[in-house]
Structure 1
Amino acid sequence: MAKLQAKTKENPKLMQKTLADGRQSLYLEYYMGYNKVIDEVTGKEHIKHIRSKEYLGLYLLPNPRTPEERQKNKETLALAAEIRIDKEKVLVARRYDKAAPVKQKINFLEFFDAYVKNYKKKDIRMMEGCLRRFRGFLAESYPSMQTNIKPDQMTKEMMIKFVDYLQQHSFGEGARGFFQRFKKVIKYAIDQDILLKNPCTGVPCVVDDTALRKDVLSLEEIAQLANTPYQNMDVRRAFLFCLYAGLRYCDVVDLKYSNVDYANKTIRFDQNKTTGHSTHSIVTIPLSNTLLKLIGERPEKDGPIFTLPSHTGCLKALRIWVARAGIEKHITWHCARHSFAVNLLGECHTDIKTVASLLGHSGLKHTEKYTRAVDSLKEKAVNALPELVI
């Protein structure tokens, strides 16, 4: 049998099929192409046409007797005919590499907003931030489109400018994170036939040595912070725990006493960011005496180790606490993870494989950026020495 002579679905026909109960089921039939088939007995070649069916879930009543039944069948047929016409328009538009007429009128911003509102994954804050970034970009670079942008206006040139905007307005890996979320929305728009081509294809978002740009706390500054009182003890305990264990906010907030093996002095948990996507998602960390003190004794009933406010509330508390400690750095919750890695590699001279294992990295690629951060800190320390007049 030869390879299928493929065609796109075109010219759908409205067809009917009689069901066991007498109703007529309405469906669309598409011509898909043909196969050249060789008869095994005669050796002759003949053509086998390939068709596809799409059932509409619409039915005609058998032998309509009343005016109401005849009117209902008439309306059902009209609806099916309208669907057939719309399908044909979509297929014709796709044949000529254009969005369907009805979808050409869609406001992509409204589509994006609806996508975010229905988004249920844990990176919802990043997705919301991505939408804000895109609105800000349009307001700055395409003011005529800041409230209404059509799918056919989403070009590769625009995406290149959007990446430039993200890199100028984001810290650390933020630009890449936002662009990754944006591409998820674009992919969904393609799945919904709102976009026929991906305007992000071939548009890179390169982030320079992000760890070098993010502030970290030295061991002396961590001690300085630990000696500074703060009224919310859970925020204080949780952030110090992250500084000594390298956890993200999304992981520390979910920790429970059942994660702790008191006998073997370890804590085991599944990383929210990589769960279901990596074999290194589950991490086991040995607990030092400092970490055990921060956890405290096991209560009678299992529950969260740290009862924390929202991420925004934690950031606000952290800013106040850091300022009160006299530390003049821009410290976010994620800085604890960076500080943990940099201090292990630099001050404690820990090998990179061990650090990668403690951070739950699947390889050394993500951990290597911290070695560059250590080199940068060394260079900064040497350059801070007063210059000699020779």
Structure 2
Amino acid sequence: MRKSNVTLRQKALSTGKISLYLDFYPPILNKKTNQYTRREFLKIYLYKKPKNQFQKNENVQNRNNAEMIYIRRQNELSKDQIYSTFEKEQLELQRIGLGSFLKYFKKLADKREGISFQIWNYSIIHFEAFLKGQDICFKDVTITFIEDYKDYLLTAKSLKKNGNTLSRNTALSYHNKVKATLKAAYKEGKLRTDINAGVDSIKEQESQRNFLTIEQAKKLFSTPCSNEIIYKISKFSLLTGNRYSDIAKLEWSEIEHIENDGHYVRFKQKKTEGLQTMPISDEAFETLGERGEPHEKVFHGLKKWDMYRVLPVWLARAGIIKHFTFHCFRHSYATLQLSAGTDIFTVSKMLGHKNVKTTQIYSHIIDKNKRATTARISLK
């Protein structure tokens, strides 16, 4: 640790007085602001041109006071040089503990993109509401504090206009962002204990996942669709399990063919940012149509609004009456694969899940006593 020197300096003011302050080099830590600074203004002033004996006496007294503070600071800095290694470590821990947990939370959120950034941002808004406009230092973050925040989320109102209470799974998502921040802070040494490990997650509520049976899928894709691109991306999603976000940004450079092996899609998942190498069937490849330039979008001209407009009408024409969004094609892929006998670990890899527990949600939908078969999905 480099020794800091302190110098008593003065600065002429426009009022005709002189302000006395201390100058530190290198800068020292201000424990109140948790920031390094070079100056400490003493709020002690001298008359630049004393007009009488009273002002002269006051100048002498004020300068003596400033000298006393200067000597005290000098002694404090000298003491710092004889701190033991342990004492220095404790001082550093105290400094870190005064850092803003909220500011660190926002810093991690800024590294996210797209939908992930929006979810982190909503989580921060609720965290700030829980803090009631205050901040919180790392040293004040405890298991009890995080448990209280969890209780808050379970009764908090949604930020949407309807003002309903947050769904359990939304509360879980926001709570997990705080847990991820706790985990990162502990790893970086900003927290002295692994608080994340001591806090249980909010239990996930199993949500309804609508899907198409193989009979419904065949019926749908034999029914004319008013929009060719919507038809293609729907079929591609059901045959591969790809999300809309990944399909929308898919480029021809990400479609590869390996001789004697078949077709592959190699891309970075938008939601998880994980790299994915996924084999696709010939039937799925045929859905893509004529190959374009490497950096050209596979589904050029795709508009998300068309999907919202076309999909419900198309389903109705096929006689499929159920609440069904585009993401349900991904659910359909998972359930059809499991129904056909594909093991859950393979399905998990194909969906790009980081944890097989995520895939197990689909297995609950499947009739466990259904006869195993080697057949796979085909719409022909």
**Which residues of structure 2 form unaligned runs of 5+?**
7-20, 37-79, 81-86, 159-164, 371-380
Per-residue CA deviation, residues 97-148 of structure 1 (Å, 9 max, x unaligned), is: 9832xx4xx582x6544543x32x45x4223223314534664xx4xx3433
Aligned twin of 1:150: 136
Give yes or no for the alignment of 1:323 onto 2:321: no
Choose from 96, 99, 104 the match for 2:97.
Answer: 99
Give how far 1:306 is off.
2.0
Choose from 9, 14, 37 the match for 2:3.
Answer: 14
SS at 2:242's partner residue?
coil
Cα distance in 2 for residues equivalent to 1:266 and 1:196: 50
Aligned twin of 1:216: 211
Aligned twin of 2:68: none
Give how far 1:341 is off.
0.9
Checking the alignment, whether the CA contact within 8 Å between 1:190 and 1:197 is kept in structure 2 is: yes
Give yes or no for the alignment of 1:266 onto 2:263: yes
Cα distance in 1 for residues equivalent to 2:345 and 2:106: 42
Checking the alignment, whether the CA contact within 8 Å between 2:266 and 2:277 is kept in structure 1 is: yes
Cα distance in 2 for residues equivalent to 1:377 and 1:307: 43
SS at 1:169's partner residue?
coil
Cα distance in 2 for residues equivalent to 1:246 and 1:240: 10
Give yes or no for the alignment of 1:229 onto 2:225: yes
- Larger Cα Rg: Structure 1 or Structure 2? 2
Checking the alignment, whether the CA contact within 8 Å between 1:249 and 1:333 is kept in structure 2 is: yes
Question: Normalised by the size of structure 2, how large is the TM-score?
Answer: 0.57
Give how far 1:356 is off.
4.1
Choose from 315, 324, 329 the match for 1:336.
Answer: 329
Aligned twin of 2:360: 368
Aligned twin of 1:257: 252
Choose from 95, 99, 118 the match for 1:128.
Answer: 118
Give how far 1:339 is off.
1.2
Aligned twin of 1:288: 282
Give how far 1:149 is off.
3.7
Cα distance in 2 for residues equivalent to 1:185 and 1:161: 18
User: Residue type of the partner of 2:282?
Assistant: S
SS at 2:150's partner residue?
helix
Give how far 1:242 is off.
1.0
Structure 2 vs 1, CA of residues 218 and 271 (structure 1 numbering), >3 Å: closer, same or farther?
A: farther
**Which residues of structure 1 form unaligned runs of 5+?**
1-11, 17-25, 27-74, 379-390
Query: RMSD of the alignment, in Å?
Result: 4.7
Cα distance in 2 for residues equivalent to 1:79 and 1:249: 57
Cα distance in 1 for residues equivalent to 2:335 and 2:126: 34
Cα distance in 1 for residues equivalent to 2:2 and 2:152: 43
Aligned twin of 1:78: 24
User: Residue type of the partner of 1:287?
Assistant: S
SS at 1:184's partner residue?
helix
Aligned twin of 1:204: 200
SS at 1:78's partner residue?
strand
Structure 2 vs 1, CA of residues 361 and 78 (structure 1 numbering), >3 Å: closer, same or farther?
A: closer
Checking the alignment, whether the CA contact within 8 Å between 1:112 and 1:131 is kept in structure 2 is: no
Structure 2 vs 1, CA of residues 321 and 219 (structure 1 numbering), >3 Å: closer, same or farther?
A: farther
Per-residue CA deviation, residues 12-53 of structure 1 (Å, 9 max, x unaligned), is: 66169xxxxxxxxx9xxxxxxxxxxxxxxxxxxxxxxxxxxx
Question: Normalised by the size of structure 1, how large is the TM-score?
Answer: 0.56
Cα distance in 2 for residues equivalent to 1:77 and 1:372: 69
User: Residue type of the partner of 1:164?
Assistant: L
Cα distance in 1 for residues equivalent to 2:311 and 2:196: 40
Aligned twin of 2:350: 358
Give yes or no for the alignment of 1:306 onto 2:299: yes
Structure 2 vs 1, CA of residues 250 and 319 (structure 1 numbering), >3 Å: closer, same or farther?
A: closer
